[in-house]
Structure 1
Amino acid sequence: MNRAAMAAIKLMQPAELAAMLRSPALVPGKDYLVVDVRDDDFEGGNIPGALHLPSHQLSSPYTFDARPHLDQFMTIPKLIFHCAMSQQRGPKAAMLIGRLLTEDAATATTAMPELYVLRGGFAAWQSAYKTEPDLLENYNAKMWEEGWWM
């Protein structure tokens, strides 16, 4: 991926994403999409409406069929990637998808989506919003308190 494409990936603060989820004017899967690339650590909770696309599938061309996802991604203006802490898997997935979308952009009839990485990942998200059930699905507080995901 060239430097210009890499620079296009921005950080999104949890509060900004929370406002998007709570906005009646925005539709998940149409106006934005959260892409959760955690693997087994997906257990214990997720952001409502997130697409679970495990990073181990992205790392192998044999297990990842990009076409259906890329077609979907090209129709959504904002893609927000995250993993547990958004330090490795989330940014790596955003760069990979960004590269694939850039390759497809020459033939696309829609604008390139904006790419984001959620600052602090799901660890920061659940820490900030663990008492707000509208911002968490499948949440298991005990798992997070025990630090099982680290």
Structure 2
Amino acid sequence: LGRSKSVCLATVEKILDNDERELIGDSSKAYLLKTVEGKHQDLKYITPEMMDCVLSGKYKDTIERCVIIDCRYPYEYEGGHIKGAINLPLEQDVEAYLLKEPIVPQSPDKRVIIIFHCEFSSERGPRMCRFIRKQDRNSNEYPKLHYPELYVLKGGYKDFFPSFQSQCEPQSYRPMHHEDFKEHLKLFRSKSRTWAGDKSKREMYSRLKNQ
């Protein structure tokens, strides 16, 4: 615990000393959390250690609310997830949760940040992060955004769990390709494809109407 606290404090001090951080999506201020390179160059990744700092309250004076979106399938989530994470595996669910009634900070000096992840944060988490940014842009006049500060947890739950089991509940890890959940995987992949197909049709009709 002592080591975790010292790592967090050192990380926070380093961030405060750095004035060259990139600006968040609406260009109003710099990203609060230190980011690292990840698979997708257009996204902002944080390390498991940084996630632990956020969960441990090291940024409580600046962050009013941190929403962790777990994009894994329900059986993965139920087998172990980050405390407080919300399981939203489908785009329609994330859109309804975040954009139907956007979360607004009560204090103008504080932030609402969103952190996405999946098992490895290789495909599902990044895809959902991009989706929300796109929908957010479409519903606002540039550069305004409901959620200008989006992050992806690098390495996903797989990399977070071994070092920070105390931040997870239950304290276990169920992979997507678990032998006992093959039928669940088929079901949710089918749901995802159906939603993606319906979304493509809706977008096509919308384009035709606007021509």
TM-score, with structure 2 as normaliser: 0.53
Stretches of 4+ moved more than 4 A in 1? 5-8, 73-76, 107-111
Is 1:74–1:101's contact at 8 Å kept on the other side of the alignment?
no
Unmatched tracts of structure 2, length 5 or more: 1-24, 26-39, 106-110, 180-211
Q: Which residue of 1 aligns with 2:65?
A: 31
Is 2:136–2:145's contact at 8 Å kept on the other side of the alignment?
no
**How much does 1:7 deviate?**
6.3
Q: In 2 relative to 1, CA 87–24 (structure 1 residues): closer, same or farther, beyond 3 Å?
A: closer
Q: In 2 relative to 1, CA 68–23 (structure 1 residues): closer, same or farther, beyond 3 Å?
A: closer
1:49 equivalent among 84, 93, 109? 84
1:67-106 correspondence runs (5 A): 67-70=96-99, 71-73=101-103, 75=105, 77-106=112-141
Distance 1:10 1:65 in 2: 19
Q: Which residue of 1 aligns with 2:170?
A: 138
Unmatched tracts of structure 1, length 5 or more: none
Q: In 2 relative to 1, CA 91–51 (structure 1 residues): closer, same or farther, beyond 3 Å?
A: same
TM-score, with structure 1 as normaliser: 0.71
Query: Which structure has the higher relative contact order (CA within 8 Å, separation 6+)?
Result: 1
What amino acid is aligned across from residue 46 of structure 1 in structure 2? Answer: H
The number of residues matched between the two structures is: 133
Percent identity for Structure 1 against Structure 2: 24
Distance 1:118 1:43 in 2: 19
Larger Rg: 2
